[in-house]
């Protein structure tokens, strides 16, 4: 199976947070000519939001990811961005960054969270980790819609 940008298996050499590792592995071994180069799972002990940065050769992975993120955003009622830029000749660099869910934190001023000035609440970090895992499962199964279990979990959190 072709993996990575050069058609060879990709492995992660740098440390990867355990809660984002499955997603990093799913992207790197997807066979869609892409590889990750940075990631963070979000933490309870420091201000940050989860992200995965990747490079993709061609549009196959990007098209799939656009559909998958649309399904994930619909399930979480969030607008998690997918950022892309062309690096050179059909190679793109992009990133997925998970957001803040206002419905999860009613009555809380979200500005300090959005500007990464305070540490996120435990329930938000827990939902981020579930969402990273669900996106990994979607890539592994080539699904563009989250599982019923994840949708039910997201519905129950509102």
CATH topology of domain 18-151: SSo0622-like fold (3.30.1960)
Beta-bridge mates of residue 86: 92
pLDDT tens-digit series, residues 114-142? 788 888 888 888 989 999 999 999 999 99
pTM: 0.83
Calpha distance 39→151 (Å, rounded)? 24
Tokens of 156: 């129950």
pLDDT tens-digit series, residues 58-91? 889 999 999 999 999 998 888 888 899 988 888 9
Tokens of 31: 């066979």
Beta-bridge mates of residue 34: 56
β strands within the chain, DSSP E:
34-40, 51-57, 82-88, 91-97
């Amino acid at each position: 199976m072709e993996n990575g940008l050069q058609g060879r298996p990709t492995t992660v050499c740098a440390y990867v947070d355990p809660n984002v590792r499955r997603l990093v592995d799913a992207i790197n071994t997807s066979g869609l000519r892409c590889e990750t180069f940075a990631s963070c799972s979000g933490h309870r002990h420091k201000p940050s939001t989860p992200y995965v940065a990747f490079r993709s050769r061609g549009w196959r992975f990007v098209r799939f990811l656009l559909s998958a993120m649309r399904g994930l955003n619909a399930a979480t009622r969030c607008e998690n961005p997918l950022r892309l830029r062309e690096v050179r000749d059909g190679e793109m660099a992009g990133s997925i960054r998970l957001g803040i869910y206002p419905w999860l934190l009613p009555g809380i001023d979200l500005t300090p969270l959005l500007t990464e000035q305070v540490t996120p609440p435990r329930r938000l970090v827990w939902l981020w980790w579930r969402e990273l895992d669900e996106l990994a499962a979607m890539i592994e199964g080539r699904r563009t819609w989250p599982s019923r279990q994840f949708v039910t979990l997201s519905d129950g959190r509102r």
